Amino acid sequence: MNSMTMFERLFFQALRIRLVEECIIDLYPSDVIQSPVHLSIGQEAVAVGACHSLRHRDLMFCTYRSHAFYLAKGGSLNEMFAELYGKVTGCARGKAGSMHLAAPDVGLMGTSAVVASTIPHAVGAALAAKRLNKAQVVVGVFGDGATEEGVYHESLNFAALHGLPVIFLCENNGLAVHSSQKTRQHYDILGHAQSYGLPVYAISEGYDFVKVAETMSEVITHVRTIQGPAFVEIQTFRYKEHVGPGEDFSCGYRDVEDCQSWKQQDPLERFPDLVKAFRPIIMQEIDAAVHFAERSPFPSIEELLCDVV
């Protein structure tokens, strides 16, 4: 990895995420995976680019579409598969499933199925970091649909008012389940964030992990230096249905042509030779993680009330 170019390193990380999720698609019909899955296929560049310049002690709070961010931030693949299998060796001891992954040892502080719920958690962590002089940057990841929630507006206001070191990262795939952004919102996301006095950054090429990484490096340096908030909106595109392993273009709410247009720009689609070179290494790791999950035990009855508050 050390001898790779930046493009190759990011390509490897993005391909690893995609192959992990393609493995999940293959496993899902067998019912060994114990929870619904929201796949990030097509959106990998956002996660690997966003995490590229973060340190382990920097914190990240994410949505239920969390596999990509969990892996990009450094979460254990063995523990992730074990969690999907509902096994006690999982990152949440088999109780959380796909939508509630966490790896606090590398700064992935938790994901949630409740829309916008992790945004105030990120703001609270940034407040604590500032008061305790921890020199941390905190990233709160959310979709465009979360900007319609009241707690989102409260969080932006509070972070701007108190000058907190938090990056609001909007992963905008233009959809809230099956509803397009234009049918839900009569405001501009970046313009609204800017009205709170936040510096804003826009990345339309959400397939380009180098562009995402370079822009996020600039944003992270800015937030780390001034100890104040910033806002980033990244346009992206999910290839699979909202929840589950299948296609949904027959549902009529989006066009397959838009997907094909995005894929023409997707490096994981455009560089098959790199895919061929990296695939065997990644698949060896994935196979080992699946084997780890398969041979791990389910939680015992004694686990039922452990860690329950």
pTM of the predicted structure, to 2 decimals: 0.96
Mean pLDDT of 145-173: 97
DSSP string, 200-253: EEEES-TT-HHHHHHHHHHHHHHHHHHT--EEEEEE----S-SSSSS--GGGSS
Backbone angles phi and psi of 95, in degrees to 5:
-95, -15
Cα–Cα distance measured from residue 120 to residue 138, given in angstroms and rounded to the nearest whole number:
11
Q: Which pLDDT score is estimated for 306? A: 85
pLDDT tens for 267-286 read 999 999 999 999 999 999 99
Cα–Cα distance measured from residue 49 to residue 28, given in angstroms and rounded to the nearest whole number:
28
pLDDT at 308 over 80: no
Best CA proximity match to 271, nearest among 18, 47, 58 = 18
Q: Which pLDDT score is estimated for 71? A: 98
**Is 172:234 a contact under the CB 8 Å cutoff?**
yes
Cα–Cα distance measured from residue 124 to residue 110, given in angstroms and rounded to the nearest whole number:
14
pLDDT tens for 251-269 read 989 999 999 999 999 999 9
pLDDT at 246 over 90: yes
- Residue 129: pLDDT band (50, 70, 90) is very high
Here the tokens at position 40 are: 């990030």
Backbone angles phi and psi of 235, in degrees to 5:
-75, 135
Mean pLDDT of 128-137: 96
- Residue 305: pLDDT band (50, 70, 90) is confident
What are the structural domains, with CATH classification, of the chain?
6-295 (3.40.50.970)
Q: Which pLDDT score is estimated for 303? A: 86
Q: Which pLDDT score is estimated for 260? A: 95
Here the tokens at position 186 are: 């009569």
Cα–Cα distance measured from residue 307 to residue 42, given in angstroms and rounded to the nearest whole number:
35
pLDDT at 9 over 80: yes
